[in-house]
Structure 1
Amino acid sequence: MLPPVELPLFPSCYNCISWSADGDIAVAAGDHVHILTPKGSDQGVEGHKTSPVRWQFTRVKVNVFTNDEWPTIYPQKRADFSIGAEQSMSTVVGLSWSPPGIAKHRRCLLAVLTSNMLLSLYEPFGPQAKWTRVAVVNHALRDYLSDSAFDEGVRLRKARVRAFTWSPPLQVPDSGVPHAAATPEIRWGAGLIALANDDNDIVVIHIGYYKAVSTSSNYYSMGILSSTSLQEVDENFSKVQTESILYQTLKSHTRVSSLACGPWIHHSPAKSASAMLAVVYGSGLQTIRVNVSMSLGTSQDALRPSYKLEARTTEHRLNLENGNIHNYQFTGPLQWLHQEGMDPLHLAAGVFAGLLTFSMPKSVYDGSSVSNDGIEMRETPFVEKTNENTQVDGTNHWEPIGAMGSVVKDKASLPSIHLGTMGGYTFASTFGDVRNQDSSFTPFWTKQLDDFRERFDIDRDLGGLAIVRVRGLASYKGIIAVAFTMHPGDVIEYRTAAEERTTLVFASATPEDELEAQLVLPLPPSNLSPSNLRSKREPILRLVLDLGLDVEIADPWSQRLLYAAVCCTIVDSENEELLSLAHKALIRLATITGADLSEEISMCLQRNRDNIVKTKTIEQLEGPGGQFYEKCEMCNAGLTWYSPQEAQCASGHLFVRCALTFISIQDPGISKFCSSCGAEYIYEGLIKPATATDLGPLYQIVSDTFDTCVQCGGKFRD
């Protein structure tokens, strides 16, 4: 089991912890975010593909903004001006990781909401992995409202963010274009984020990453797909007279406090999809259905198709078969529970001193059913059973839910929900295809919390009155991380900042999986033999050679890539089909450029060939083909092609070759590395225009198609 981690901080919000699909943990603490990045052992055990996790700690200050990021706002009307946001310390009030594939190197983006109502996006930058703010989502709202007829005060409210949630990745259909690149939207899905502004509008934004030759924060495009205003529900204040000043004040100060997005359901013929947003608006629960249509954009490059997304939001009413939803005071948080092929889908919503779970048929969820009936509701009050010998039925827990999250171990397992309150009450339940089935149980991590509470109680002689406050909960591959703090329960608590402590414990979802709850990271593969590496290179060579016969290769980078793929095939491959493709590609390359490639063409036809492409002469390097022949930038001598992993010139200068393009890497600072096996690649985002022209369609298609390590599948790092 992973050992506990103690952090010198106090959380600044509920659900203070988030665990990304890349294994990074983010913890909200005042005006900082603490990021725990897993790292493997320095020395791996031979024969083992995994290593125990250790953590690298990073502290990111998130309350420092430039005037461009957060412009000065002068006093407005009382209904529009938020003096609390303007004078706040910009502490963290919410954070969440995006699905993988949205950030640079197809990693996860960290979204942080601060108390000044700015939603910022963070990612690591540079070899030292310095976490940097790369975008402010409020700017998209501000630009969207720039030409509107609203006055300045209304635009100010609409540009502030109250709550947000990432949607699951939206998979777009295949373009159907031959040899087209597997764009990020196809491989990873489109990244959508839903947010609620200070004017109670629900806004859906498409966030896309594009590669730019720059070190500025202008990496991300943000396009608003839809915006809808929530309708006020009078039942929330049914006990207040509608003519009273109190009623008008309550309605004017009603805000959205929680958001959650359900899974995407694709409709035939896979050109549209729908999902449902659950919203805690005031003390009531509302649901909104989001319908997104997907179509090919008007990009001029047919081999790198772009997709145009259009969204439409409609309000959905929860028609229950039993119970009345307006009898409950919703406090949040919200959590959808689903698994592929599951019917019905489930929604968990926190209410005052309890939990409500809704079972919704799939036909109602995606809108295919005309009727909205068939939704069942079940209430679970937070009551802790006492001793059977006493006359008291149980102890009610009135504290709010401090942490709640869903846990899915794998595709074959059922999703479960785990939660903890600010008073130390814990609860867990598994959800499946059977409605209203009582499958609740005590979370396995409760025992760890009790052990820490007892130790805290004994050390401070509190007589059993110590309190555990569960502050955050997140899961990763079936492992649960729980953040909690310890407090005395019988006296007024006083402590200095130096005494603040938050403990993270790790546990399996169920006691049966205790032995399997070992978070591990991939070590550099130990079976990368020449034959295995050769098989991993074949898909790259096949794609490049096929494209070299069909697409335009007039630019120098495409010619360099095609020539490198041909040489790699001659030197390393024994596949007759690839050699035949290389022969045809050489003939086309020689025809287009006028270069003398007779030696390489003859080597493609030889069965017992010498697997070395000899160094080119000075006349050849300066004549036709000099733009794609490789030469040493130190001495201008030609490079010998004898290995797909390294290159050497006649003077002895040795260079490593890119593991994807097989081009020698000679310039410092233009590489990216696999975070698992350490393989080196040319990072196209760092190639400067002063030293290279446009990378060309062939290079861009290959880099987009193989956007993870071709040797081990790991993510890249700078």
Structure 2
Amino acid sequence: MTDVTEFKCWPSCVDAIDWSQDGIIALASDERVELLFPNTVSFDRDQDAPQWQHVSLRVPLFSSAELAVKEPSPLSAYSIGEEISSSVPIAIAWSSPGLAKHQRCALATLTTNLVLSIWSADGKPQEESSWSRRLIVNHALKRYFLSSTTNESINSAPTSKEQMRLSTRVRAFAWAPALPCSGPNGIIGTRLSYDQHIIAVATDNKQVVFVVVDSPTSTLGVNQGWSAEVRTHFALTPDSESCHHEPIFFEDMMKQQTHISHITWSPWVHRDKCYRSVVVYATNKDVRARTITYTDHRIELGAEIVYQGIQLRYDGPLKWYPEVQNGSTFRLALFTGTGLVYLTISAHDASIIKQVVHELDGRCDLISATAWDIDQQRTVRLHFSSLLSTLQSPTAVLEVSSGGLTSLPSPNWRDQIENNLVLFSVKNDLKGNSKAKVWGLTTSPLGDFIAACSSVHPSDMIEYGPPSERRGTIAISNLRLYSELRKSFPVRHVSAEGIIFTVKKLVENTVEESDQMPAFATEIQDKLMQAYPPCQDPNSNYSILATYRDASDLIALLNAFKKITFLNVNTLRDRYTILLSQACNIASSNMLPRTLIAHRLATALQHLPSSLFQTPFSAEIFAHHRQLISLVDSLIKPDNSPSELTENLDVANNVSRQSPVATVDDTTARTDPATLGEDTCDFCSAPIPFTDPTSAICTKGHQFPRCGLSLLPIQAPGITKYCGICSTPFLSEEFVTAQEVEVQEEFGRFTLSRVLFLACDVCIYCGGKYVE
């Protein structure tokens, strides 16, 4: 089964698409970057419903405030014309989660003016107006090199101004992979912590620069805006042949123009309280590598190694295998002008342990995309495409084994492109005189589907027409049979959005009758519990919170609170129940699992340090959670069955609270009713009794939703965010921050509301990311 969407443009570069962990596909085209949101049709919906949502980003447009107008370079600088280019996107890549708002991924875009920008949405990813350019990395490079007193590279530019221009041109970039978590291998939608987001950029001055990108989200609200800071850099070790301080001949001048055309960053290995990885970069002469050691936000560089006998020149690409082999080796695929070079590289010193070469059917065009496929039996396959000859060449996927590389039959995505080409030829009466260009491949967040970007063209005539008539397609194909996908899920950090995409595909293609849905949901829930189990730390109990009495270490407190609140076995099972009910479109209120999750959250709050409850707003949240505990305790009886408890919850609006309301310390209590967990209606000032954890109804009938975290009634517009999956309402971070901004200096930076909303960075009920 293949989903196909058409867009009204042609891609502007090879490797033109990338699929984020949030489930968003980005496509680079001439005038914009298209964002595609897969919207899989539900089991019982009309099949004519749109399966994709499109958002266009005007990436080539820069304001004068963002980027000053550049003067043409002098002839002696051999300018490539970046100062007069049209700023077409030539490379895009998503960051790991945790950088953009609501723990989403940010998009890095490199344009033909050699400017690297970071884009993200401001709470509404499916609205174009929410997306904006957050920062330009080139500005951080300029600040860094202006403050530098030494120049480590040999430059051919005649003036310091031209040297600065070369040092601020970005030729290639690569995001650092997310650091491996020391806790569970994968928890849907929840990470105990997010580390720094680092991006490696290659400049025109033969340098590789490591830049740390920070945002209000990644700094837990410490920074109010986005920032980029250079941590370190290195210059290429010059060859003796290219050391001409005053070149006279053109050949000598070209030897000095050794810039980095490709760069890629390996996964991390955790060893001896530090993380190690390898950065491989290719020049127009050779391929080189360095080890990277990351410890306590410090980056240390190893010695440069040249991979002898491998010349990438302008071919490429380079693609790391996404997992570490045997705990100490990486695997890298390099596409050269003569074929595929498959390397096994040591994590210790970046040296080559094993090298395998495979011919590529004699193709001479550019390799346009690569994608790794790993099934549950750990069989590794490498999918790749070339720009023009994908359909003419027999090999499109290779299987990696101990014996080498073996060609496999044509994959689904290649067959789909071929079928699309046939339809194009018939529709336009071309009699087979047509060709297909393949622009990119990328796998889904779980690695079980692959998206292929292609365009079709006539082959025996000149193709002409306005840009509005240009068409391209993105087709999503399954990498394995659905029966195999249904058996298990990959053990890695995944998002709830990635899980729900795969589950919806399984529903469409494996569930035939609606009465089979409950059994299917139970089966998938068991598979999720096996792949993403609860934290097995024996110290994950409420007593661990007692070690943070002063609440001085916010990161440690958040990690401990997340383990207790989210990684509980019962909470995980309830979260998976709610997530699957959304994916399978099961008609259920999920009142019982939602209430139990909220009850466990409220219970955990009671064990937080008392110093967090000093502010009036935090005291109010604390009181509401005490009210929830009292409400649930009044409904739960020792002889109640789960069905009876559900019935009691459904009629909770008619139940009066019998248990007394717990109060906070007299020194922190407010004199208004909110301190006692009682709210008043903003319309009529009538009291709002706490009889339902999801809705608030005053005694005169005005109804409001309750925040899924604080349990406070939401009585004003514009202060709400929602779960993107289950649509649960929550108070926005801006509103929560505004409630305590005046008393922050008096009571300290860390409060209950701050800890609660920072720890619950995704929906506590299903793991979905927030939208506004």
TM-score if structure 2 supplies the norm length? 0.73
- State how far apart, in whole Å, the 1-side matches of 2:633 and 2:210 are: 49
Counterpart of 1:9? 9
Cα 1:442/1:234, change in 2 over 3 Å: farther
Cα-to-partner distance string for 1:231-288 (whole Å, 9 max, x where unaligned)? 24568x99x9x987233222333322222111000112xx310111111212421112
Cα 1:338/1:57, change in 2 over 3 Å: closer
Cα-to-partner distance string for 1:471-527 (whole Å, 9 max, x where unaligned)? 111110311111112223334443432331112222222568798798555536655
Q: Does 1:563 align with 2:614?
A: no
Q: In angstroms, what is the RMSD of aligned CA positions?
A: 3.7
Contact 2:14 2:387 in 1 (8 A): no
Counterpart of 1:286? 288
Contact 1:184 1:190 in 2 (8 A): no
Name the aligned partner's letter for residue 691 of structure 2.
Answer: Y
Cα 1:516/1:112, change in 2 over 3 Å: farther
Cα distance, 1:145 vs. partner?
2.9
Q: Does 1:381 align with 2:359?
A: yes
1:541 is aligned, of 602, 620, 627, to 602
Counterpart of 1:336? 320
Cα distance, 1:570 vs. partner?
0.8
- State how far apart, in whole Å, the 1-side matches of 2:332 and 2:359 are: 16
- SS for the counterpart of 2:751 is helix
Structure 2 residue ranges without an equivalent (≥5): 152-159, 184-188, 488-500, 505-581, 639-658
Cα distance, 1:124 vs. partner?
2.4
- SS for the counterpart of 1:90 is coil
Q: Does 1:403 align with 2:349?
A: no
- State how far apart, in whole Å, the 2-side matches of 1:366 and 1:702 are: 41
Cα 1:23/1:312, change in 2 over 3 Å: same
Q: Does 1:350 align with 2:335?
A: yes
Cα 1:653/1:228, change in 2 over 3 Å: same
Counterpart of 2:206? 200
Cα 1:514/1:61, change in 2 over 3 Å: farther
Q: Does 1:317 align with 2:309?
A: no
Cα distance, 1:456 vs. partner?
3.1
Name the aligned partner's letter for residue 499 of structure 1.
Answer: E
- State how far apart, in whole Å, the 1-side matches of 2:661 and 2:304 are: 57
Cα 1:462/1:315, change in 2 over 3 Å: farther
Contact 1:184 1:704 in 2 (8 A): no
- SS for the counterpart of 1:668 is coil
Cα distance, 1:141 vs. partner?
1.8
Contact 2:231 2:299 in 1 (8 A): yes
Q: How does 1:102-501 map to 2 (within 5 A)?
A: 102-125=99-122, 127=124, 129-130=127-128, 131-149=131-149, 151-171=160-180, 186-211=192-217, 219-233=225-239, 245-268=249-272, 271-294=273-296, 309-317=297-305, 324-326=308-310, 329=313, 331-339=315-323, 341-342=325-326, 344-360=329-345, 364-367=346-349, 375-383=353-361, 396-408=362-374, 413-425=378-390, 426-431=395-400, 434=402, 436-438=404-406, 440-460=408-428, 462=430, 464-476=432-444, 477=446, 478-501=448-471
- State how far apart, in whole Å, the 2-side matches of 1:256 and 1:637 are: 69
Cα distance, 1:531 vs. partner?
2.6
Contact 1:283 1:330 in 2 (8 A): no
- State how far apart, in whole Å, the 2-side matches of 1:430 and 1:52 are: 37
Cα 1:202/1:536, change in 2 over 3 Å: same
1:649 is aligned, of 698, 702, 715, to 698
2:672 is aligned, of 613, 621, 625, to 621
Q: How does 1:55-74 map to 2 (within 5 A)?
A: 55-74=52-71
- State how far apart, in whole Å, the 2-side matches of 1:673 and 1:329 are: 48
Counterpart of 1:616? none
- State how far apart, in whole Å, the 2-side matches of 1:440 and 1:416 are: 9
Which stretch of structure 1 is more off in the superposition, 675-684 or 226-235?
226-235
Cα-to-partner distance string for 1:361-406 (whole Å, 9 max, x where unaligned)? xxx2234xxxx665222222221xxxxxxxxxxxx31101112222
Q: Which 4+ runs in 1 deviate beyond 6 A?
A: 511-518, 574-577
Cα-to-partner distance string for 1:615-655 (whole Å, 9 max, x where unaligned)? xxxxx527xx7597533333344321112112223333222
Cα distance, 1:703 vs. partner?
1.3
Cα distance, 1:351 vs. partner?
0.8
Contact 2:680 2:698 in 1 (8 A): yes
- State how far apart, in whole Å, the 2-side matches of 1:227 and 1:355 are: 30
Counterpart of 2:565? none
- State how far apart, in whole Å, the 1-side matches of 2:247 and 2:64 are: 43
Name the aligned partner's letter for residue 666 of structure 2.
Answer: T
Cα 1:210/1:286, change in 2 over 3 Å: same
- State how far apart, in whole Å, the 2-side matches of 1:209 and 1:584 are: 44
Name the aligned partner's letter for residue 273 of structure 1.
Answer: Y
Which stretch of structure 1 is more off in the superposition, 500-509 or 225-234?
225-234
Cα 1:317/1:505, change in 2 over 3 Å: same
Cα distance, 1:662 vs. partner?
0.9
Identity of aligned residues (%): 24
Cα 1:546/1:19, change in 2 over 3 Å: same
TM-score if structure 1 supplies the norm length? 0.79
Which stretch of structure 1 is more off in the superposition, 278-287 or 147-156?
147-156
- State how far apart, in whole Å, the 1-side matches of 2:724 and 2:474 are: 25
Contact 2:338 2:359 in 1 (8 A): yes
- State how far apart, in whole Å, the 1-side matches of 2:404 and 2:299 are: 33
Cα distance, 1:9 vs. partner?
0.8
- State how far apart, in whole Å, the 1-side matches of 2:672 and 2:633 are: 26
Contact 1:428 1:441 in 2 (8 A): yes
Counterpart of 2:711? 662
- State how far apart, in whole Å, the 2-side matches of 1:431 and 1:190 are: 33
- State how far apart, in whole Å, the 1-side matches of 2:179 and 2:414 are: 35
More helix by share: 2
More strand by share: 1
- State how far apart, in whole Å, the 2-side matches of 1:704 and 1:53 are: 35
Cα distance, 1:200 vs. partner?
2.2
Which stretch of structure 1 is more off in the superposition, 421-430 or 283-292?
421-430
Cα-to-partner distance string for 1:689-714 (whole Å, 9 max, x where unaligned)? 48964485211111121111111111
Cα-to-partner distance string for 1:670-695 (whole Å, 9 max, x where unaligned)? 11101111000011134574896448
Structure 1 residue ranges without an equivalent (≥5): 175-182, 295-308, 384-395, 578-582, 596-619
Contact 1:330 1:349 in 2 (8 A): no
